[in-house]
Structure 1
Amino acid sequence: MRAVISLASRSLAAMSVMVSMSCTAAPQQAAAQPPGFPDLGGFALVPVDAYLAEPGRGPRFAYFSTPYNIQCLFEAGEPIPAWSGQGISCHGDMPDGDPCVVGTAAAAGSGPAYAITRTADKCGTPFTRGALLNSGQKVSFRNATCAVGADRLVACLDTTSGQHGFVLKPSGSEAF
């Protein structure tokens, strides 16, 4: 009986130490943004309400346009299932096109990664759906954040399943 009481006492003491350590452990840092992705902390957050479009049916989306002839959207409905991404998509004049390439940056199939593709749209086609998101601003809803920067920068991050999204910029656009 003494052996059982001794074992129970040691187990209880060990559990107390583990609980105490977990309560005092340093907080975990947020996941780092992908290499080459701009620091979103340097952009002014604007309320998503100005960019919402209420559909007749189906999910609600946030739409915005940029000063660079690119329009973007992402799902901003309630609720968004935990397993579902928000479908960030930008379409328009790609900043690294020479002289002009119209393309789309969006989710690549059913996985979490994003891709940039060319489209058959003609250069000069206006891509202006949604309210203007100015340089230096960002808009965010749940796991989707998009920012517009100087020098034709457009960057979007989807953190639903890790760190995925894209950066559109003259020095080279990239999806991840």
Structure 2
Amino acid sequence: MASKVIQAYYDDDDVLMHAVKKVKAARHHIEEVYCPFPVHGLDKAMGLAPTRIAITSFMYGCLGLTVAIVMMNYIMIQDWPQDIGGKPSFSYIENMPAFVPVMFEMTVFFAAHLMVITFYLRSRLWPFKKAENPDPRSTDDHFIMEIELHGDEAALTDLLRETGAVEINRVEK
């Protein structure tokens, strides 16, 4: 069964923020808001949970640091120890100051690259995926708020007109 949504179009981000607050106060569920640029505070106004992506970034950085330590210990101490500049080649701890730049770079490398992959997978963005924006104007100069229809369509339409919607459409999803 197809669900019905109401799409309200706005041409100003301040009007959109005011509309989101009024719609949430009227206890309607906002499915999605499509914006041509990030709108500060929109996630809080919609009642979205804070992101946990920073936690994954920290874990990826720890993984990179661990890989760097294990890699340098194996390569420089166990597998092929060399006397470089008179430094002892039998102890990782004594050589650690020379390894700090490599540890830092591997930490940043793992955190950055794995975060990009995580973001794309979490957002369901992969190569050759078709765009999901409902209207090309949402990438230029219009903001679109999608509200799932559960009940009186006329009352919801009137509420959206009061909030300053420039266009209102009913769409089958």
TM-score past 0.5 threshold: no
Report the structure, 1 or 2, having the larger strand content.
Answer: 1
Report the structure, 1 or 2, having the larger helix content.
Answer: 2
**TM-score in terms of structure 2 length:** 0.25
Between the two structures, name the one with larger relative contact order (CA 8 Å, sep ≥ 6). 2
